[in-house]
Structure 1
Amino acid sequence: MFIDTHLHLIDQSRLAYPWLSDAGDLNRDFTYFEYAQEARRLGIEAALHMEVDVATADIEVETEMVRSLAASQGDLIAGVIAACRPEEMGFPAYLEKCEADSFVKGFRRVLHVVPDDISEQTLFRDNLKRMAGSRLTFDICMLARQQPLAIALIDSAPGVRFVLDHCGVPDIVSGDFDAWKRGIEEIAKRPNVSAKVSGIIAYADPEAWTVDTIRPYAEHLVSSFGWERVVWGSDWPVCRRGGGLSTWVGATQAIFAGCSADEREKLYRGNARRIWNL
């Protein structure tokens, strides 16, 4: 059984997604029903909804949309990782509001869609430090080339619990494994960071990848962070670019088939339960 820590739902009738116009095959609605039908067949028992980089005005609307869906038909949905804007003055009030809301499990600000210096700004870092000691996590979504920025951000807020998305977004197609590998090892030295085995089939050649293509990335992430600091996520529907949800679950099971039942339990669902109190 799995807990999916990285589910995206898209409803363009209710929310604005500025990035979707250039997103090709992702530029359509992706519904809970479409996801849940396949997820249940695969043994996914719960999911956290990950914010989908909606327009700033729709950030709280997105959380309310998912909350309503979870209450009415989304029995797999256990909470949300909500969007946030630490670079804005209103962040402290928003943080306080979300801390009081048990449905919100954490925050994410996608950092590869904004200038690199956003995360280096004093206001951004001061606001992020306000999360120290909080039950909320902060997902880091950066490209592999931005690993030094990720390290600097983590070091600026040692009291915050970070989660590194998508194995640190390796550039699998380019084959630049060694640079990514060194960066992951450095990030993993920070004990306040966990990491997601998620999304990587979307970064491989969609026509040519095999389990052996992605295995080194997943295995190195786990060996660097250890079994207590890794979780699993689908990155649905983005994972469809590499074959889809069933393909990703199958690849995951193939990669970790030789591990112990206890190790797989931690990665697939146990750590997620503990980190987000599910």
Structure 2
Amino acid sequence: MIIDTHLHLVYRDRLTYPWLADVPPLNADFTHDLYAREARRLGIAASLHMEVDVAETDIARETEVIEALATAADSLLVGAIASCRPELPDFPAYLERVRANPFVRGFRRVLHVVPDDVSEGALFRENIARLSGSGLTFDLCVKPHQIERAIALVDLAPDVSFVLDHCGVPDIAGGGYDLWKGPLSEIARRPNVTVKLSGIPAYGAENWTLEDLKPYFAHVVRCFGFDRMVWGSDWPVCTLGGGLSTWIGATHALLSGVSLPEKAGVLSDNARRLWKISPRA
């Protein structure tokens, strides 16, 4: 069984996605039904929806749309990581509203699409610290040169669980191993950071192979081990690197030779623990 901790759903008739116009292959509807048809065949039993950087005015609406989809009897959705704007003064009120909704398991603010100094603002950092005691996680979506800034956020709130998306976004196609490995090692020294095995096929060359991914995966394992690793599809972005079935196949190949408890940890058990997902999933 697999718990997908990084699913994006796109419903353009209900929400606005300003960035999609710049990525034509993704500028389409990617629905739960379309995803679930393939996901169930691959052993995915439950999914956490990851915010899709909707228009700021649609942030609360996105959670409502996804929560409504989760009420269907055959839905794979068990929770959501909601979008947020910690740089804004209304974040504390937003946090209190979200805390009252058990469907929301955490937050994400994509940082590699904004100026680097956004996360360095006093208000941003103050608001991240407000997550202490909330039980909500915070996903860090940064490029290698920004990991140092992510570390500063992690150190501000040592009792908050942070999740490093997409293995720290290494530039696999461009041979960016050396620029990525040091920052990844450094953030892994923080015990409140979990790494997400997700996204990396989209960072490989068009004709990437398993051998291209292996050195990056090996370094992630050296840094985080298997107890601080969760799995995510990054669907539909993964379609840019071969698709969901290809990524599942590559994941199983990367985990070949790993003990069954460690493999179960990466694919489901660690996610259950981190986000308190029901054993029924």
Both structures adopt the same fold (TM-score exceeding 0.5): yes
**Contact in 1 for aligned 2:88/2:124 (Cα 8 Å):** yes
The one-character-per-residue Cα deviations of 1:172-230 (angstroms, maximum 9, x if unpaired) are 11112122111111000001111100010000012x21111011212211221122111
TM superposition shift of 1:151: 1.5
Measured in 1, the distance between the counterparts of 2:57 and 2:19 equals: 15
- Tell me the equivalent position of 1:229: 228
- Tell me the equivalent position of 1:143: 143
What TM-score comes out, normalization by structure 2 length? 0.97
SS at match of 1:195: strand
User: 1:151-190, aligned counterparts within 5 Å?
Assistant: 151-190=151-190
267-276 or 74-83, larger mean C-alpha shift: 74-83
The one-character-per-residue Cα deviations of 1:43-87 (angstroms, maximum 9, x if unpaired) are 000000000000111001000000111102552101000000000
**Contact in 2 for aligned 1:129/1:159 (Cα 8 Å):** no
Measured in 2, the distance between the counterparts of 1:74 and 1:84 equals: 28
The one-character-per-residue Cα deviations of 1:99-142 (angstroms, maximum 9, x if unpaired) are 12110000000001111100000000001100012210000001
Measured in 2, the distance between the counterparts of 1:139 and 1:92 equals: 18
**Contact in 1 for aligned 2:10/2:28 (Cα 8 Å):** yes
> Mind listing any 5+ residue stretches in structure 1 that lack a counterpart?
none
- Tell me the equivalent position of 2:52: 52
The one-character-per-residue Cα deviations of 1:133-170 (angstroms, maximum 9, x if unpaired) are 22100000011221211122222222321000000000
Superposition misfits of 4+ residues, deviation over 4 angstroms: none
- Aligned residue identity for 1:214: L
SS at match of 1:153: helix
- Tell me the equivalent position of 1:134: 134
SS at match of 1:209: coil
82-91 or 176-185, larger mean C-alpha shift: 176-185
- Tell me the equivalent position of 2:216: 217
> Compared with structure 1, are the counterparts of its residues 167 and 243 closer, same or farther at alpha carbon in structure 2 (3 Å cutoff)?
same
> Compared with structure 1, are the counterparts of its residues 150 and 74 closer, same or farther at alpha carbon in structure 2 (3 Å cutoff)?
farther
Measured in 1, the distance between the counterparts of 2:248 and 2:258 equals: 16
158-167 or 45-54, larger mean C-alpha shift: 158-167
Measured in 2, the distance between the counterparts of 1:73 and 1:88 equals: 37
- Aligned residue identity for 1:226: G
**Contact in 1 for aligned 2:135/2:160 (Cα 8 Å):** no
User: 1:58-137, aligned counterparts within 5 Å?
Assistant: 58-72=58-72, 75-137=75-137
> Mind listing any 5+ residue stretches in structure 2 that lack a counterpart?
none
> Compared with structure 1, are the counterparts of its residues 35 and 262 closer, same or farther at alpha carbon in structure 2 (3 Å cutoff)?
same
**Contact in 1 for aligned 2:109/2:140 (Cα 8 Å):** yes
**Contact in 2 for aligned 1:196/1:232 (Cα 8 Å):** yes
**Contact in 2 for aligned 1:132/1:161 (Cα 8 Å):** no
Measured in 2, the distance between the counterparts of 1:138 and 1:218 equals: 22
**Contact in 2 for aligned 1:6/1:234 (Cα 8 Å):** yes
**Contact in 2 for aligned 1:112/1:143 (Cα 8 Å):** yes
- Aligned residue identity for 1:251: A
147-156 or 30-39, larger mean C-alpha shift: 147-156
Q: How many residues matched?
A: 277
The one-character-per-residue Cα deviations of 1:223-269 (angstroms, maximum 9, x if unpaired) are 21122111000000000000000000000000111100011000000
Measured in 2, the distance between the counterparts of 1:87 and 1:31 equals: 30
- Tell me the equivalent position of 2:261: 262
Measured in 1, the distance between the counterparts of 2:72 and 2:61 equals: 16
**Contact in 2 for aligned 1:167/1:195 (Cα 8 Å):** yes
Measured in 2, the distance between the counterparts of 1:90 and 1:73 equals: 35
Measured in 2, the distance between the counterparts of 1:65 and 1:219 equals: 38
Among the aligned pairs, what percent are the same residue? 58
> Compared with structure 1, are the counterparts of its residues 209 and 103 closer, same or farther at alpha carbon in structure 2 (3 Å cutoff)?
same
**Contact in 1 for aligned 2:196/2:229 (Cα 8 Å):** yes
Q: Report the aligned-residue RMSD.
A: 1.0
Measured in 2, the distance between the counterparts of 1:258 and 1:134 equals: 37
Measured in 2, the distance between the counterparts of 1:270 and 1:160 equals: 19
Measured in 1, the distance between the counterparts of 2:248 and 2:120 equals: 36
